[in-house]
């Protein structure tokens, strides 16, 4: 099917992006688990301690350490923590504890009206792609595509510092180095950066939470998928119309996406070249975005320039600073301790 022939519903996101304020020392940050269960509570504790060392008032959702099969608690419990964090005016960032799977089960339960009234910085990636994509589609909300709290303590120091500077609004530009995909146009394009994990994006296709990447630079990253599966996922996005009108594509370095040893297979790069090359837009691959420890954080929905001749992805936006500090209300929960958002 030629590009542009899909019946693609108009996006409901506003034309002007909504960029939440940066955090500052003393701000409350809520740690919640709307996806899979926390696997290493010690690492989560260390991540929370790291956030507290930055001067942040860290509180946990009451169900953040729960487990129910492959989920971090029931849908009601996970929704309660997430909506409670959204509704709390003292919470200036919602930092996801871990990925896995589960956020798509509760997207239709999120209090989007409350988030629109008081935009809050959301930090996460992988399964949280669905939350970032839905928030942009509904509200134009810009979020942070970056490491989870439960992995912060074991990431390389430069990556953690870059993430901290981004959420504190200290970086004016972030420049990431990759390589132009052979056979794609060697041009430069600019637009909002949208996307994330390929598997999640494909799962959103055909739903009310799908991405609309027209005029945008599409971000793609993947982990643990064989090349033939990557082919299937990219084909799903293409056939659903999700790739219609994209300005360019920024592809993170794949992790554990090697060809199987027991059957004929092309490589991850072969599949990307085949599926994205036909779009006729610049594509930069091997960017430090995704499931590698050295991942660099970027603003999902923020303005970027993709420069294929130099293999660079440059982010131009940062969360704006607030003039006055918002103090937590009386009765606020203790730093680094579980705290019920619905007392």
Residue 340 φ/ψ, nearest 5 degrees: -75, 125
Asked if residue 189 lies in contact with residue 306, where contact means CB atoms within 8 angstroms, the answer is yes
Catalytic residue among 63, 137, 145, 291: 291
Q: State the Cα–Cα distance between residues 188 and 52, nearest whole angstrom.
A: 40
Q: State the Cα–Cα distance between residues 136 and 146, nearest whole angstrom.
A: 16
Q: List, in sequence order, every beta strand (DSSP E) within 203-318.
A: 217-221, 248-252, 283-287, 298-300, 303-307, 312-315
**Angle subtended at Cα 312 by Cα 307 and Cα 317, rounded to the nearest 5 degrees:** 90
157 in active site = no
Q: State the Cα–Cα distance between residues 145 and 314, nearest whole angstrom.
A: 15
Catalytic residue among 221, 222, 240, 300: 221
Which of 260, 310, 326 is closest to 25 using CA atoms?
326
Q: State the Cα–Cα distance between residues 202 and 333, nearest whole angstrom.
A: 39
Catalytic residue among 21, 33, 63, 126: 126
98 SS3 class: coil
CA distances from 328 to 70, 106, 199, 231, 300 (A): 34, 27, 38, 48, 27
325 in active site = no
21 in active site = no
Asked if residue 144 lies in contact with residue 295, where contact means CB atoms within 8 angstroms, the answer is no
Q: State the Cα–Cα distance between residues 61 and 213, nearest whole angstrom.
A: 33
Residues with a known catalytic role: 126, 221, 291
């Amino acid at each position: 099917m030629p590009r542009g022939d899909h019946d693609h519903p108009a996006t409901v996101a506003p034309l002007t992006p909504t960029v939440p304020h940066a955090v500052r020392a003393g701000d409350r940050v809520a740690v919640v688990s709307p996806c899979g269960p926390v696997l290493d509570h010690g690492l989560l504790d260390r991540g929370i301690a790291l956030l507290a060392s930055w001067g942040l008032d860290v509180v946990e959702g009451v169900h953040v350490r729960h487990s129910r099969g492959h989920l971090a608690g029931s849908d009601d419990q996970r929704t309660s923590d997430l909506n409670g964090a959204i509704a709390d005016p003292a919470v200036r960032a919602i930092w996801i504890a871990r990925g896995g799977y589960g956020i798509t089960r509760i997207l239709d339960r999120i209090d989007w009206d409350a988030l629109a009234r008081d935009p809050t910085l959301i930090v996460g990636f992988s399964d949280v792609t669905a939350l970032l994509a839905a928030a942009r589609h509904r509200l134009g909300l810009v979020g942070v595509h970056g490491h989870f709290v439960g992995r912060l303590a074991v990431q390389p120091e430069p990556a953690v510092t870059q993430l901290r500077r981004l959420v504190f609004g200290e970086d004016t530009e972030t420049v990431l180095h990759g390589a132009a995909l052979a056979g794609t146009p060697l041009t430069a394009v600019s637009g909002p950066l949208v996307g994330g994990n390929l598997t999640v994006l494909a799962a959103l296709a055909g739903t009310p939470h799908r991405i609309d990447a027209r005029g945008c630079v599409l971000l793609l990253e993947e982990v643990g998928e064989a090349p033939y599966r990557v082919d299937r996922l990219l084909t799903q996005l293409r056939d659903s119309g999700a790739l219609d009108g994209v300005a360019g594509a920024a592809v993170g370095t794949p992790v554990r996406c090697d060809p199987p040893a027991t059957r004929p297979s092309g490589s991850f790069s072969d599949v990307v070249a085949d599926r994205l090359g036909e779009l006729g837009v610049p594509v930069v691959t091997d960017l430090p975005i995704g499931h590698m420890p050295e991942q660099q954080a970027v603003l999902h929905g923020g303005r970027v320039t993709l420069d294929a001749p130099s293999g660079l992805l440059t982010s131009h936006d940062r969360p704006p600073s607030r003039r006055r500090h918002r103090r937590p209300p009386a009765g606020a929960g203790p730093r680094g301790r579980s705290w019920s958002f619905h007392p």
